[in-house]
Amino acid sequence: MRILVTGGGGFIGSNLVNYLLKDPTVRVYSLDNNPRIKNKDINNFLLDVKDINEISFKPDIIYHLAAQSRVQPSFKNPKQSVIDNVMGTLEVLEYTRKNKCKVVYAGSSSKHFDHSASPYSCSKYMGESLCKMYKKSFGLDIEIARFYNVYGPNEDLNPIDGNVIGIWRYNVSKGKKCKIVGDGEQERDFIHVQDIVEGLVAIGEGISSHEDAWELGTGSTTSINNLAVMFHERFGTTFEYIDDQKGNMRQTKLVNKDAYERLGWIPKRKLVDYIMTL
C-alpha cells in the first residue's frame, strides 16, 4: 500500500509518518512545501499541495493534513488561509476524482461554532463542504476527521504560529513570562497527537464510513487557568493576563463518540502526564 501525507513535515503529519513507517507493508510519501521536520526514511516531495499532480506515483490513501492551522495567524493573512485550506483541498479532491484514491481530510472542531468567526474557521468549514460534495457527487471514498486541541511531540514552539502549549514552551525556554488570553476560564479538549494518529489510521483502514465526520477528542476539558497551574508546577512559570482575542471560543469539547463506538478508537494519553515529562 502506498500512502501520501500532505503536510508530512508538520506537527501532526510528521507523527503520522513515523507511525506509518512501522508497518513494513506500507510505502510512505510526504508532500510538503516547507517541512519543519524532515524524515530521510520516506520519499519527500517538496511541493505545494496545489502541485499534487506532479507526484510520480498513485497513492492508495491520501491523508490531507496540509493547511494553515491556527486561528490568530489567519486574521493577519485571510487570503492565504483560503488559498491553503480551500484551494489546496480542492486540488487534492480533483486529483482524487481522477485517480480514485481514498482521502482522509483533517477537519476542525471549529465546525461547531460560528464559521464566520475567523478566516481559519471559515476556510476549514469550506474544506469540509468540498469533501462532502465530492463524496456525494462523485461517489468518492472521502472521510473527515475533526481535531480538537492537539498537543505533543513536534508541536511548533513558536510565539506566533504555535498553539497555547507550544507558545508557552517557547516562552519558558526564553525565560519569558507567559500570557493568558482573556480570563483564562475558556476550556479546551486537549488531545495528544499520538491519539490523533491512531484515530487517523483507524479511519484510513476503512472499518466504517461516516456520513458527517469522525470527532477525535477526549470528551473532557481543561481550562487555560488549570493548564497554567500545570506549567507553574513543572517550570515555575509566571503568567500575566492580556485582553481577549477574536475567535477565542469559550469551550471546545468532543461532540459525539462515534469514533469510540464504531472504530474502537480510544484516546489513552493524559495532558498532565505530558506536561510533567517536558
Q: Please check whether residue 248 lies inside any domain of the structure.
A: no
Q: Please check whether residue 165 lies inside any domain of the structure.
A: no
Q: Which domain, by its residues, includes 68?
A: 2-151+190-218+254-268
Q: Please check whether residue 113 lies inside any domain of the structure.
A: yes
Q: 262, 272, 161: which is closest to 213 by C-alpha?
A: 262
Q: Please check whether residue 184 lies inside any domain of the structure.
A: no
Cα–Cα distances (Å) from 7 to 14, 30, 104, in that order, read: 8, 7, 13
Please state, in angstroms and rounded to a whole number, the distance separating the CA atoms of residues 182 and 270. 25
- Is 142 in contact with 135 (CB distance < 8 Å)? yes
Q: Please check whether residue 274 lies inside any domain of the structure.
A: no
Task: Give the CATH number for residue 200.
Answer: 3.40.50.720
Q: What is the dihedral of CA 113, 118, 121, 122, to 10 degrees?
A: 110
Q: Please check whether residue 212 lies inside any domain of the structure.
A: yes
- List, for residues 24-71, the tens digit of each pLDDT value: 999 999 999 999 999 988 989 999 999 999 998 999 999 999 998 888
Can you tell me whether residue 112 is helix, strand or coil? Answer: helix
- List, for residues 145-164, the tens digit of each pLDDT value: 999 999 999 999 988 878 99
Number of domains in the chain: 1
pTM of the model: 0.95
